[in-house]
Structure 1
Amino acid sequence: MPVTRHLRDDPEYCEEYGYGLGAPDGILVLKYRSAGGLAFGDVRDDFLHQLYWSPDGVLAALYGSSTRFAGPGEAFWAMRAVSHDVRAGDRQTVYRIFLREVPPALDGLRAGSATVDDEAARLIETIARRGCDEAFALAARRRILDGLGAPSALTPAASANGGGLALAVARALAHDPADSTRLDEWAERLKVSVKTLQRDFVREFGMPYTRWRTRLRLRAARVLLNTHPVTKVAHRVGYASPSAFITAFTKEYGQTPGDYVANGLARLDGSRT
């Protein structure tokens, strides 16, 4: 039977779903939701591998001396005994999956981003719900592992109409939101027209490239603001000056980065009184 634990202490909660625990083919899923951002701290597990995935936001993963971001259709993978720190923004759902088996495509990857296909994403959400049958969940676990892949280099999509190009660019940008590559430069690398790439961005994300990049940068900023000064965050996500970052952030969210941090801390303080 699955082990399910619900902690709904506003402003954050964690739900626990375990299937076949103790066996090599078991799986444990923790589902987190927070109003004020999530930080898992300096984590190391010597017995279990971990996968972090968010369906509705950007994840920032710190390991070694680098900080990487996991964007659309991606997760962060850490093998057992690898120290890491994963963070998410406010009002964001994060699934933290514990495994004893390494997914086939991630064999040899100590830590880094991994792609998550649509079916694997759907199954992660399905098994992290009340009443999920254990036999179904264990079968779904195999499909989830098969749906994980190591990120590939940016390559032209095979689709004649340009489908998939925007997602390839989005994933590359998500790893480094400060990347200043222009749309025409991406199009040249992919050997397609600017018009084709722009059309695929609108089709895939409902907005043009520059708008999508701005939203990515600001969502990445929200992950970092609670633990980094505004000046550092501004440069880390691609703004030439803190003032340009503050202007863009305020336009998008209706409050300055400083107010955003203060309001988030106020929510957390209020939950403890």
Structure 2
Amino acid sequence: MTVVAPLAADPVSCEEFGYGLGRPDGILVLRYRSAARMAFGENRQDFLHQLYWSPDGVLSARHDRGATLIGPGEAFWVQRAVTHEVHAADRQTVYRICLREVPAALDGLQVGAARIDVEAAELVLAIADREYDERGASEARRRIMAGLDPRPHPADDRQPGGSGVAVTVATALANDPGDPTRLDEWAERLHVSVKTLQRDFAREFGMSYSQWRTSLRLRVSLTLLQTRPVGEVARRIGYASPSAFISAFVREYGCTPGRAASMIHAGDDAAASLLLSRLHR
């Protein structure tokens, strides 16, 4: 088993929950927690298929096709022997699900973002519990696999011809959405002009730097709002004040962050799906 290395001195805790190991229909769930940022193996290749999911934060995944951001309602899927690395922020919980079989809907996907439905996510949480009755594990695994399907990710919709500097910035922001670095400062760090970086964002993502950063921050906020107050979410994702965050959120979703959190907490799946669909449009 590959060891998870923290990006700081804080220890990473890892709990294992295995059912039917050694059989084709087995499943192994590893739950990681850390007070520091986590990196799941640079250039790692696994013998089992991997699914990474975090219920309380955004994941940044890197692979041979570029960088991918994984947020609410999504997981990062990697078939065995595909080189990849995954990064998580501080104080984040990450589930790594190991499978011998490929879910039917992901058969043609070697690596990339996959939608994970509400039932599948709840079952991942359920089986990662010491009190779980293992007699239900086989059915839980089947329903988890059935609850996955490919989903194009905005960071994967890159246009050909980009220089790569925009992806470098996007990957850094994925690890820290609250990073206050300005566009001109990024350009200086990357030894390119501001115009070059602006053009590269338009080519790579079809939007400006500020639009992409706002989209990322709001995407992260949908997850954080499930467990944290509006003021803390605003600070963590880089807004100078809660009012600035609320204004941006209302412009995007047509409701306040508090209202959105209430809908999600109340289990209003239709409303939550509408919020997410607007972010993926």
Question: How does the TM-score come out when normalised to structure 1?
Answer: 0.57
Q: Contact 1:32 / 1:93 at 8 angstroms: preserved in 2?
A: yes
1:69 paired with 2:23, answer no
Question: Which whole-Å deviations, capped at 9, do the CAs of 1:81-124 have from their partners, x for residues lacking one?
Answer: 10100111111111000000100100021100000000000000
2:133 aligns with 133
1:101 paired with 2:132, answer no
Alpha-carbon separation, structure 1, partners of 2:155 and 2:67: 11
Change (3 A) 1:54 1:175: farther
Instruction: Give the drift of 1:10.
Output: 5.6
Alignment size in residue pairs: 178
2:51 aligns with 51
SS in 1 for 2:82: coil
Alpha-carbon separation, structure 2, partners of 1:223 and 1:100: 34
Alpha-carbon separation, structure 1, partners of 2:131 and 2:174: 34
Alpha-carbon separation, structure 2, partners of 1:221 and 1:43: 19
SS in 2 for 1:82: coil
Question: Which whole-Å deviations, capped at 9, do the CAs of 1:170-207 have from their partners, x for residues lacking one?
Answer: xx55768xxxxxxxxxxxxxxxxxxxxxxxxxxxxxxx
Change (3 A) 1:26 1:83: same
Match among 176, 191, 195 for residue 222 of structure 1 = 176
Instruction: Give the drift of 1:125.
Output: 0.5
Change (3 A) 1:40 1:217: closer
Alpha-carbon separation, structure 2, partners of 1:219 and 1:121: 26
Question: How does the TM-score come out when normalised to structure 2?
Answer: 0.55
Alpha-carbon separation, structure 2, partners of 1:16 and 1:219: 30
> Structure 1: which 5+ runs fail to align?
1-8, 153-171, 177-215, 254-273
Q: Contact 2:75 / 2:113 at 8 angstroms: preserved in 1?
A: yes
1:238 paired with 2:209, answer yes
Instruction: Give the drift of 1:50.
Output: 0.4
Change (3 A) 1:120 1:109: same
Instruction: Give the drift of 1:221.
Output: 4.0
Change (3 A) 1:60 1:19: same
1:146 aligns with 146
Alpha-carbon separation, structure 2, partners of 1:109 and 1:224: 31
Task: Tell me which of the two structures has the higher relative contact order, counting C-alpha pairs closer than 8 angstroms and 6 or more residues apart.
Answer: 1
> Structure 2: which 5+ runs fail to align?
1-8, 158-169, 180-184, 191-196, 202-207, 212-216, 218-236, 243-281
Change (3 A) 1:25 1:64: same
Percent of pairs with identical residues: 53
Q: Quick one: which amino acid aligns to residue 43 of structure 1?
A: R
Q: Quick one: which amino acid aligns to residue 99 of structure 1?
A: L
SS in 2 for 1:21: coil
Change (3 A) 1:62 1:218: closer
After superposition, the CA RMSD in angstroms is 3.6
1:249 aligns with 238
Q: Contact 1:88 / 1:223 at 8 angstroms: preserved in 2?
A: no
